Amino acid sequence: MKLDLNLTTAFTLRKRIKELINKINAQMIYAQYVVEPERKEEILEAFETKNVEGSYQFLSELMEANRELSNLIDEQNLAGKKILNDLNKVNAQIILVQQIETKLKANRTSKSRNPVTGNWEVATLEKITEFDATKELETLKQKKVRLEDELSKNNSQAKLVFNLNDEIYTRIYGE
Question: Which residues, including other chains, have CB under 8 Å from residue 45's CB and lie 6 or more apart?
Answer: none
Model pLDDT for residues 73-89, shown as the tens digit of each residue: 999 888 899 999 999 99
Query: Nearest Cα to 168, choosing from 68, 71, 44?
Result: 68
Question: Which residues, including other chains, have CB under 8 Å from residue 106's CB and lie 6 or more apart?
Answer: none
Residue 121 β-bridge partners = 112
Please report the DSSP string for 71-125 in residue order.
Answer: HHHHHHTHHHHHHHHHHHHHHHHHHHHHHHHHHHTS-SEEEEE-TTT--EEEEE-
Which secondary structure element, helix H or strand E, spans residue 66, and what is its range? Answer: helix 52-76
Model pLDDT for residues 13-63, shown as the tens digit of each residue: 999 999 999 999 999 999 889 999 999 999 999 888 999 999 999 999 999
Q: What average pLDDT does the chain have?
A: 92
Model pLDDT for residues 107-123, shown as the tens digit of each residue: 777 888 888 888 888 88
